[in-house]
Structure 1
Amino acid sequence: MATARVPLEELPVGRLTALAQRLGPIIGITNASGGLNSDVAARVLTSQGAFYVKGMRTDHPRVWTQAREASINSLVAESAGPGLRWREVADGWDLNVFDAIDGHHADYRPGSVDLPLVARLLTHLSTVQADEGLELRLAEQRLGSYAESASDLDHFRGNTLCHTDLNNENVIVADGRARLVDWAWATRGAAWLDAAYWVIWLIAAGRHRPFAAERTARRVPAFRNAPDAAVTAFAVANANLWAEITAGESDPWTARVDAAAQAWLRHRRDL
């Protein structure tokens, strides 16, 4: 469900004042054009540096994602994502302020120099354990309605912190490193899941053939060592999920991801 974007300048005066007090006088604002999951998303330049503000109205049905991103930030700050500078809920708004990562969206095309950087990032993430006290959705819950059988869900269980949305617009490359932004859908699951999600996006956004996408994802040891049955079960679940998302009318973006998920499943079935 897309959210109508609100320019940062239109936030209540109290929120703009609080931002300036915390970050220094605001010099410039660039409202994001991509991504539609937040009410507010903007890069802010102040006397103290560059920051990225994400926010939702407190009555938004997905406002819980703000707390989710804040709660996991200490596990990914700097090593795998931007650091959280400040969070506050007031004046009807829930705002997260992150250090800005100035770089480019990862290029997923075959032969891209960004691919090894993303593989290195996902290799690191496959070792990050989700703290016991974190309130996270479980991978087997999120995919529960789409798996071919209940026993397939066992493949997805684990205690790794998974991002689960490897859209290349969520991967920023800067200073020879790839990092992930938008951790709203962080999930507890098996160590190889993010690399498996990457396969779908390599096909959809990078125009890889399924076998080539898998070969690229195998640069991540956790995926390389995942049982074939587990990977196929994951492909089945995601093909079913995207078929449901695109049922009836769909936009070109979701149709492309659905086509990638279906192509990957056909490849897995032919093995």
Structure 2
Amino acid sequence: MVDASGARIGWSDLPEQVRRSVEEIIGAPVVEAVSQAGGFSPGTADRVRAEDGRRAFVKAVSPAQNPDSPGMHRREALVAAALPESVPAPRLLGSYDDGTWVALVLADVEGRHPAVPWRADELDRVLDALTVLARATTPTPLPDLPSAADSLAADFAGWQRLAADPPAGLDPWTIDRLPELAARADRGLAALAGDTLVHLDIRADNLLIAVDGTVTIVDWPWACRGPAWLDTLLLLLNVRLNGGQDTHARLLRYAAGVGADPDDLLAVLAGFAGFFLDRAREPAPPGLPTLRAFQRAQGDVLLDWLREAA
């Protein structure tokens, strides 16, 4: 399995002014910083402890690590500041932005990522948390965010690009169905209407489970407006990738429970499959050496899922 990870810097790599500003937000000097594994940000991801015992989670980045990452941090800061208290997410304590470096200081959350392969009990807890999230953010508290359809329109055109320039190694089943897959992706894009705040990047490394079973959803830079079921669908993709549960049976039960058309959900999965397989053939972005392999792995498991459902 390909790990979701970037070439990460640490607390000590931050400029003094950034560290000092973070300490002002926390309220005391930092005496310990422990880098956290997982995720694709090439910036810092440190759990820090101040000399008075206060704790926080700090993430900071500049264009030197990746040119797109500061903008993602800025967007996450806006989202985190607007999340209702009932959303199972870390509270934003403050942020720093000097035009080059962007830092977010969030409440530290005790917990671990879900076990993979996925366990049924932990999957049920995360599904419950996503239900709470959808209820708490419908209608969305951030109406100015882009819609899921707008956010994903270029990505879901991946099958069209693959049909125009098929990469080596595409299997015969896929090659024979390129026009059909492109049409399904179009259907999936049309199904993404909704007024729920959607995280759009639900996977095991963006989830924390506390000792008491409480689930916290972290890393919000891709948040948008979309259907209440979209985060659950992306969770099932991660379960499919990591194994442990019958994802297609779960999808059918979930669709029936929320009154969604399972063919619409499968069409959205087709759109993501085209996106992942198209992007996987591009060079790795700066600071993210494993991203393309991770995208290819997701595209491959989605193709298997679509064959199973055919």
1:76–1:82 contact (8 Å) kept in structure 2: no
- Change in Cα spacing, 1:126 to 1:108, as seen in structure 2 (3 Å) is farther
Cα separation, partners in 2 of 1:268 and 1:93, compared to 1, 3 Å: same
- Is contact 1:108-1:115 (8 Å) kept? no
Structure 1 55/212 Cα, relative in aligned 2: closer, same or farther at 3 Å? same
Residue 8 of structure 2 corresponds to which residue in structure 1? 5
Is residue 56 from structure 1 mapped to residue 61 from structure 2 by the alignment? Answer: yes
The one-letter code of the counterpart of 1:143 is L
Task: Give the residue type in structure 2 aligned to 1:25.
Answer: P
Q: Which residue of 2 is the match for residue 43 of structure 1?
A: 47
Q: Shift of residue 247 of structure 1?
A: 3.0
Question: In the alignment, is residue 131 of structure 1 matched against residue 150 of structure 2?
Answer: no
Structure 2 contact 25–93 (Cα < 8 Å) conserved: no
Deviations 1:39-96 (A, max 9, x none): 2221111124221111121673232212221222232556321000011113731111
Aligned length: 265
Superposition map of 1:60-79 within 5 A: 60-73=67-80, 74-75=82-83, 77=85, 79=87
Higher relative contact order (CA 8 A, sep 6+): 2
**Alignment counterpart, residue 198 of structure 2, candidates 156, 162, 165:** 162
Q: Could you tell me which residue of structure 1 aligns to residue 172 of structure 2?
A: none
Cα distance in 1 between the residues matched to 2:256 and 2:134: 8
Residue 300 of structure 2 is matched in structure 1 by 259
**d(CA) in 1 for partners of 2:256, 2:98:** 42
Quick check: 1:197 aligned with 2:202? no
Q: Which amino acid aligns with 2:189?
A: L
Residue 167 of structure 1: how far off its partner (Å): 1.6
| The one of 195, 198, 207 aligned to 1:171 | 207
TM-score normalised to structure 1 length: 0.86
- Code of the residue aligned with 1:13 in structure 2: it is E
Write the mapping of 1:75-94 to structure 2, written as runs, cut at 5 A: 75=83, 77=85, 79-90=87-98, 92-94=100-102
Name the structure 1 match of 2:104: 96
Residue type matched to 2:300 in 1?
A: A
1:210–1:2 distance in 2 versus 1, CA, 3 Å: closer
1:106 aligns with 2:114: yes
Q: Secondary structure at the match of 1:96?
A: strand
The Cα of 1:154 is off from its aligned counterpart by 2.3
- Does 75-84 or 247-256 show the bigger shift? 247-256
Q: Which runs of 5+ in 1 are unaligned?
A: none
Task: Write the distance in 2 (CA, Å) between the matches of 1:91 and 1:207.
Answer: 44
1:117 to 107, 125, 130: 125
Question: What is the distance in 2 between the residues matched to 1:143 and 1:265?
Answer: 19
What secondary structure, in the 3-state scheme, does the structure 1 residue paired with 2:233 have? helix
Q: CA RMSD in A?
A: 2.7
Q: 2:217 aligns with which of 176, 180, 183?
A: 180
Q: Flag structure 2 segments of 5+ consecutive residues without an equivalent.
A: 158-181, 284-289
The letter of the residue matching 2:307 is: R
Q: Distance in 1 between matches of 2:146 and 2:83?
A: 16
Contact 1:14 1:91 in 2 (8 A): no
Give the Å deviation of 1:207. Answer: 3.8
Query: In structure 2, what is the equivalent of residue 230 of structure 1?
Result: 264
Greater share of strand residues, 1 or 2? 1
- Comparing 64-73 and 94-103, the one that deviates more: 64-73
Question: What is the CA distance between 1:141 and its match in structure 2?
Answer: 2.1
> Does the Cα contact within 8 Å between 1:200 and 1:264 map onto a contact in 2?
no
From 245, 255, 261, the counterpart of 2:279? 245
